[in-house]
Amino acid sequence: MGEYALRNDEKIGLAAAVLLHGALVGFLALQTMRSEVSVFPERINVSLATDVGLEAASPDPVSESRASIAPTLDANPAPAPEAKPEPAERAAPTVPTRDRSRPDRTPPKSATTPPKQAASKSGGGSRIGDDFLDGKGSSSTATETRAPAATFGAKEAADLRSAISRQIKRNWSAPNGVDAEQLVSVVRWQLNRDGTLKGRPTCRTNPSSITESNRPQAGLHCERAIRAVQLADFSTLPNAFYTRWDDLEWQFDRRL
């Protein structure tokens, strides 16, 4: 078999193919050695608050607060103190030459010459009297300077009812049974200023809501209502409106 000789164009093509394959192998080797790091943003946890607490407008309110009283002008202001003149620098004395052939007829000067008095200016003392009174209200008779008690209006009443209902609903569950959804109980309880119970709550079931079918559940209905009040946390109720929630009466039913 004779030897096969490559033509020039075949040699060029073969050399180009070898170079291209070498470049491809090198590129793939670099890709395997390269490590890509993906940075993911940190996950943020978001929680939605459903309970909004009530805050009093004043931590220690009063029924009335004194109004601010403007300062009065003093009719006879005290004169301003006289300004003392600063001592002037004395120039070096010059001794005049005197003709000794003529007698000195200049009268001798006094050894101590009183200094010139500075012209006194009529001073304008402070015209603000000491009766400037600070206040936080509008009363002209009260002497208190603390913030007056917050006004209890329709919005405050709605917010207070919502805050109490939220605390009760957390622990309230009506009993199940025939006609049990018709039962209506009224619980009354008293609270201290810190939100703690003042004695045991009392409960009564509305007679018109009791039927022959749900009568066995009436007692349990009251017990669960009292338990819901005992487990509730009333410490966040606004102290400014304590007289509005110190003695409460609440209706418990399935729609609470």
The CA-based diameter of the chain, rounded to the nearest angstrom, is: 161
At residue 177, the 3 state secondary structure works out as coil
Would you state the torsion angle of the CA atoms of residues 227, 230, 232, 233, taken in this order, to the nearest 10 degrees?
Answer: -170
Could you tell me the domains of the chain? 154-252 (3.30.1150.10)
Q: Is the pLDDT of residue 8 over 90?
A: no
Return d(Cα 217, Cα 175) in angstroms, integer.
Answer: 7
Return d(Cα 25, Cα 19) in angstroms, integer.
Answer: 10
Task: State residue 16's pLDDT score.
Answer: 81
pLDDT tens, residue by residue, 46-84? 343 344 444 444 445 556 666 666 555 556 656 666 666
pLDDT band at 27 (very low <50, low <70, confident <90, very high): confident
Residue type, 216: P
Task: State residue 152's pLDDT score.
Answer: 83
pLDDT band at 39 (very low <50, low <70, confident <90, very high): very low
Top-confidence range, 41-55, 82-96, 121-135, 153-167:
153-167
**In the Cβ-directed half-sphere of 95, how many Cα atoms lie within 13 Å?**
2
pLDDT band at 128 (very low <50, low <70, confident <90, very high): very low
Average pLDDT of the residues in 30-57: 47
Average pLDDT of the residues in 237-244: 93
User: Rounded to whole angstroms, what are the CA distances from 96 to 90, 93, 105, 108, 216?
Assistant: 17, 10, 15, 15, 133
User: Token pair of 10, please?
Assistant: 């075949």
Report the Cα 26 to chain-centroid distance in Å: 65
The chain-wide mean pLDDT, for the chain, equals: 73
Return d(Cα 252, Cα 256) in angstroms, integer.
Answer: 6
Return d(Cα 90, Cα 15) in angstroms, integer.
Answer: 110
Task: State residue 184's pLDDT score.
Answer: 97
Nearest Cα to Cα of residue 159 among 81, 80, 237, 217: 237
pTM for the model stands at 0.45
Window from 5-9, 97-101, 130-134, 164-168 with minimum mean pLDDT? 130-134
pLDDT tens, residue by residue, 183-238? 999 999 999 999 999 999 999 999 999 999 999 999 999 999 999 999 999 999 99
